[in-house]
Amino acid sequence: MTGVIMKFFVTSMLMWIAPVAILYAFNHDLIPGVTQLSPHSLTLLSGFVAVISVNIVIAFYIYMAIKEPSDKHEPDPAFLAEAKASVSQSAGKVGDSSQSLKKEE
């Protein structure tokens, strides 16, 4: 479980750091060749590249999630018992309400 939380934390940080770093680099002329661009073009290009970087981070996170082995995860028995009890309880309430509707008719 710690590995999943760590992956989530790292990708969340990258989703914030990457676009801010890209915008900073574009606006402070740290990338060669951007000094020749007009302010309008600079804003469009830096925003586009920042959005693309976030999409790359999201795709990387999805790839890591897909590659994670699914056989090592086992559901918590206490959680399963609670879930089954909750479902059976709510199913009983639905049946009761349908019977009361029939009685009213």
The pTM assigned to this predicted structure is: 0.62
Mean pLDDT of the chain: 84
Q: What percent of the chain has pLDDT over 90?
A: 41
Question: Measured over all CA atoms, what is the biggest interatomic distance in the chain, rounded to whole angstroms?
Answer: 80
Q: Please state whether 81 falls in left (phi above 0), alpha (psi between -120 and 50) or beta.
A: alpha
State residue 102's pLDDT score.
54
Picking from 32, 73, 26, the residue whose alpha carbon sits closest to that of residue 51 is 26
Dump pLDDT digits (tens) for 40-78.
Answer: 999 999 999 999 999 999 999 999 888 887 776 677 888
